[in-house]
Structure 1
Amino acid sequence: MTQWFNNIALNRRRIALAYLDFCQRHFGGKWSDVVISKKKLVRVDLTQECLEALMKEFIENMVRAEFGIAGGQEQIANSYDAMLSKDRSRLTPLGKSAMEEMMIDAVAYKLHNPSSQLLQVVA
């Protein structure tokens, strides 16, 4: 169980850094342009710490709620492993998709709960 915690924390950090790299290459900086609806685009400033907190809130808590603590840890570890490339430096297509879905959920949550400190929405 402890190894899963360490593996999850390490891969969470790697995924956050890989997503920041993805954003730098695709959006030109450490932000993400999230499309909420066909006419609404929201720009979000991102940091590694912010992404890790979002992953805990929107991915890990949801998986633990569905599979329980022990089963959830295994599911999270397997999912995070599948989100990273073999050399752990880039996101796989699954990783990109999961992070984009997480960002959509996080922005929707922030728009409905403006006092939330999880995310910094710019425009």
Structure 2
Amino acid sequence: MKLLPLELDSISGDQIINPNYLVEKDDHVVGTASDMVQKLFTLGKMMQKDAAQMELDAKFCSNLEEQVGLLAKYNELQAKAAVLKELFWIGVRDEFALWNKSVGIRIDYTVVWNDKDEMPPIARMFGLGG
């Protein structure tokens, strides 16, 4: 995690990964997420992609020692991606003071809230909501 600031700073505007969810009719638009929050989202997605590639490479690796290394890297990237996801949602909630709302992120980093019931903490722990 000591490299996190460097990793975030290295993400340029053309590397930003845009969420692909459209604004829904029950959404209340509150604004656009900051560059830092966009970078957290992007870095998390990049790590998820890299983790998936490590897992795939490990499945087809014939060298046991190399396979163990690939799986270790997979576990590392999955854990870091999960932390980045939490930091992302904390950033969104902080920027717009939405700590008591059901929050969403939409295309072009549009931040929304809606009246849907907040997901239980256990569901959020497993990444099922924001």
Q: What's the TM-score, normalizing by structure 2?
A: 0.28
Query: In terms of Rg, which structure is larger?
Result: 2
Q: What's the TM-score, normalizing by structure 1?
A: 0.29
Name the one with the larger helix percent: 1
